[in-house]
Structure 1
């Protein structure tokens, strides 16, 4: 496995492992938890299709888990004004404690990833990510 692919794979495994105790405590699947956290952390993204596109979760898994999150009171479906075919997913008050706990897990996960890096190295790392992100945006524009 090449280093980039291995890094992404290990990151996903480590993140899932970090989330597992909270998911078990809350009786949520990892996918349901991921959907809830995605919606909470990305307020500009509110639809199931955005979850599918950006998080690369299969549409049927998004559908099943969104249905469950709605049924359990964590999400509300709200029609989009001007386009009755689209539905926004809104996190409810019941979801807020889950989101707070999830963000604590995410913060702790990031601290553990950066453990052993001094502030200068961390700044260089995040600067490199910003540059790579900008370059990817340019490449995507050129490919259209």
Structure 2
């Protein structure tokens, strides 16, 4: 069914449209912003490989955008204490304001998507998303 693909595409386009003014203000490409938000929202992940694996952004794009974020002072590289070959990435103080603004955009985006939906429907929808996520995790575990 084409509408499934169209929904995912529209979702991404709408989210990017809401992020665009902040990205333009910061002179950051959407991918760099997405990477920064990934680390800001998921402190348990610390490597560029995590971004590639979890967010499914191509390694070359992650590399270029991580370099940009480091150069511009949003991310800091540190050697992993247990493995000097591994580089960990941390959000800097400069990144905190951007992450907070990004979280506000994400919250407004979510609220806008659910606009016109009653609380009972929202609860069912969020439950269904959780169930689908668990099912996808099970599919992916079986595929490994």
Please give the residue correspondences for 1:101-112 in structure 2 after superposition, counting only pairs within 5 Å. Answer: 101-112=101-112
1:118 is displaced (CA, Å) by: 0.7
1:94 aligns with 2:94: yes
Structure 2: which 5+ runs fail to align? none
Q: Which residue of structure 1 lines up, in the alignment, with residue 137 of structure 2? A: 137
Alignment partners' CA distance in 2, 1:111 and 1:129: 16
Q: TM-score, normalised by structure 1?
A: 0.95
Q: Deviations over 1:86-136 (max 9, x none)?
A: 111100001111111111111111111010111100000000011111122
Q: TM-score, normalised by structure 2?
A: 0.95
Aligned alpha-carbon RMSD (Å)? 1.2
Please give the residue correspondences for 1:110-125 in structure 2 after superposition, counting only pairs within 5 Å. Answer: 110-125=110-125
Q: Which is worse superposed, 132-141 or 55-64?
A: 132-141
Q: How many residues align?
A: 144
1:20 aligns with 2:20: yes
Alignment partners' CA distance in 2, 1:3 and 1:107: 25
1:72 is displaced (CA, Å) by: 0.9
Q: Which residue of structure 2 lines up, in the alignment, with residue 2 of structure 1? A: 2
* Structure 1 outlier segments of 4+, above 3 Å: none
1:142 is displaced (CA, Å) by: 2.9
1:41 aligns with 2:41: yes
Q: Deviations over 1:37-67 (max 9, x none)?
A: 0100111111101111111111111111111
Alignment partners' CA distance in 2, 1:138 and 1:70: 36
